[in-house]
Copies of this chain bind each other. A is one copy, B any other.
Amino acid sequence: MKRTVFFVSESTGITAETLGNSLLSQFEDVDFERVYTPYVNTAETARELVRLFDGIYAQDGQPPIVLGTMLNEEVRAVLQQGACIYVELYETFVGPLSEILGVAPSRKTGQSHAISRESSYARRIDAINFAVANDDGVRPENFGRADLILTGVSRSGKTPTCLYLATHFGLYAANYPLTEEDFERDDLPEPLRLNSQKLFGLTIDAERLHQIRVERRPGGSYASLDRCRSELRQAQRMFTRLGIPVLDTTSHSIEEISSRIRLALKYRTG
């Protein structure tokens, strides 16, 4: 069973997509066809969209569902009059919140993803640049400036997690790959030891790591299952000995791991 869903917004559409996709995940058995249409901010653009609805209705045998975050009543009304089932995700809460706060809403569109809160926006941009510049342990002298440092064996998920933490939360995230050298020394290099309170270890299932490494660099000892097992075991031993909290990227997404790290950092720093 196929169902077409439009995510419609006056601005970037990030709110509509995030909440909308989260809601659709409640209905796993439905085969959703997702259509993202940001920047629908004039009645004319809305009318263009409405023209699509009829074709989709005929094709699917059911009207498309529109998940909207539309503050502009005129533009919203155009959509609502089209051949669709319109669900408003945003306006629903603006009135009640306004009453709770005793303040009228500004009704300005796209505020939350605009460059509005200057300092936090600038911090996020800096954090992304920091994460890219400090990927793969290339500048240990910068560990002091990091909010956190991820460590783990090659391809355990450090880079994507660092970038998510930076992009989403504005955290300065560096990472350091554990290699044979660290295992032979059975200790971390000094710049890391000096920042041990910032460390989080990443681990991953050996079979999964083997798969990932084979895709990246097939053949050779780097990708062999034995090598993966041995590295992961040595890394785990080091994490345990040094009291580094460990997160598993096999079963947890970068969003889940990042949320847990942010929570842990909050409690660490008080």
Q: Does A111 contact B (CB under 8 A)?
A: yes
User: In the complex, which of the residues B25, B30, B100, B113 contacts A116, with contact meaning CB atoms closer than 8 Å?
Assistant: B25
Known contacts: A11-B256, A38-B263, A255-B113. The answer to whether A89 contacts B100 by CB under 8 A is no
Closest to A129 in B: B159
B121, A28: Cβ atoms closer than 8 Å: no
Chain A residues 98-118 with CB under 8 Å of chain B are 98, 100-101, 103, 105-108, 110-116
Chain A residues 17-52 with CB under 8 Å of chain B are 18-19, 21-30, 36, 38-39
Chain A residues 224-248 with CB under 8 Å of chain B are none
Interface residues of A (CB under 8 A from B): 3, 11-15, 18-19, 21-30, 36, 38-39, 65, 69, 85, 87, 89-90, 92-94, 96-98, 100-101, 103, 105-108, 110-116, 121, 124-125, 128-129, 131-132, 135, 157, 159-160, 163-164, 166-168, 251-256, 258-260, 262-263, 266
Give 11 A-B pairs besides A26-B106, A132-B135 with Cβ atoms closer than 8 angstroms.
A12-B255, A15-B22, A18-B18, A22-B69, A23-B93, A24-B112, A25-B111, A36-B263, A114-B253, A121-B253, A132-B163
Q: Can you list 5 contacts pairing A with B, beta carbon distance less than 8 Å?
A: A26-B106, A26-B111, A113-B255, A128-B163, A163-B163
